[in-house]
A = this chain, B = another copy of it.
Amino acid sequence: MTPRDYPTALGASSPTSITLLGHDLAADVMGEVGFGELAFWLATQRRPSRGEVRVFEAVLAALADHGFTPTAIVTRLTYLSAPDSVQGALAAGLLGGGSRFLGVTEDCGRFLAGVLKEHDPLPSDDAGWDALALETVTAWRESGRRVPGLGHHVHKDGDPRTPRLFEIAAEEGLYGPHLSLFAAVGRVHPRVLGRTLPLNGAGVCGAALADLGLPLELLRGFALLARTAGLIGQLAEELRHPVANDIFLSVDLNNRSVPPDPYGESHG
């Protein structure tokens, strides 16, 4: 087989230089580019504006740590069990970043983008957005689907991150169609669902990331990046004020042996 080559615009090095995204890493990136900015740049291969960085970093802050989530508990327990491998403890925590706990960001971004793609031209005022939102929420309700980004098990009367992210995006001139539609969903859904649910923080983060033009397939990836910083914080705290062994024992010492409950007995 002929050898192939593998094109990339990311990191490259020669004996005397290292480039990243076409720039000299040492001279032009190190000391010049913030980490949020760099993460955005790596994902899009274009350097974001200051305003884009601010919105992006606000999203990362919103998603970095939510206390003793399953992902945080998993990272602490894995470190307890295998302290020789920090990479394993972080990876194990990230593996919980799936559909239920971190997936709302991506689901919401995709949901909004899907609706927008079908509507051209887009609404030009709040009344127009409300009409589109009403149509959308009604259609989702009728087909039995849950609208992503609505509801929160703790912040029942409003997630404090949501108005703040709307505000930051507006300040930076980055309040685009995804946020507009999401806000309209927040206004109109009580008329369809018969009760008022909060727009949750994970959802508004998805809307904001989509308005930043980030790839929809990777919205979950940004939530995972934020969470990596949070999990390092969890590990740092665990190292100094450990709780993982207590968590383990609180489960193990409360186990209760029950007889097997055979599955599929009728088969075979």
A262-B232 contact, Cβ under 8 Å, with A82-B87, A87-B220, A155-B13: no
Q: Are A27 and B73 in contact (CB under 8 A)?
A: no
Give bound CA distance, A99 to B87, whole Å.
10
The answer to whether the Cβ of A236 comes within 8 Å of any Cβ in the partner chain is yes
Distance of A165 Cα from B262 Cα, bound (Å): 25
Residue of B nearest to A48 (CB): B268
- Inter-subunit contact B4/A2 (CB<8 Å): no
- Copies assembled: 4
Expressed in whole angstroms, the Cα–Cα distance for A188 and B36 within the complex equals: 38
How many residues of chain A are within 8 Å of chain B by beta carbon? Answer: 154
Chain B: minimal CB distance from A224 (Å)? 6
Task: Please indicate the chain B residues that have their CB under 8 angstroms from the CB of A140 in the complex.
Answer: none
Determine the distance from Cα of A201 to Cα of B25 in the docked complex, in whole angstroms.
11
Q: Across the interface, which residues of B come within 8 angstroms of A251, CB to CB?
A: 6, 68, 73, 247, 250
Q: Is the CB of B3 within 8 A of A250?
A: yes
Q: Cβ of A239 < 8 Å from any Cβ of B?
A: yes
Query: Across the interface, which residues of B come within 8 angstroms of A267, CB to CB?
Result: 176, 211-213
Contacts of A260 in B (CB 8 A): 9, 21-22, 45-46
Given contacts A31-B58, A46-B264, A213-B263, 20 further A-B contacts (CB under 8 A): A1-B254, A6-B246, A7-B256, A9-B237, A9-B258, A20-B61, A22-B260, A38-B64, A43-B236, A45-B261, A70-B81, A74-B92, A81-B96, A82-B87, A82-B100, A88-B96, A174-B268, A212-B264, A240-B261, A250-B251
What would be 15 A-B contacts, judged by CB atoms less than 8 Å apart? A7-B256, A10-B233, A11-B64, A11-B65, A11-B230, A33-B57, A43-B263, A52-B268, A78-B96, A80-B96, A82-B96, A83-B98, A84-B98, A85-B88, A218-B239
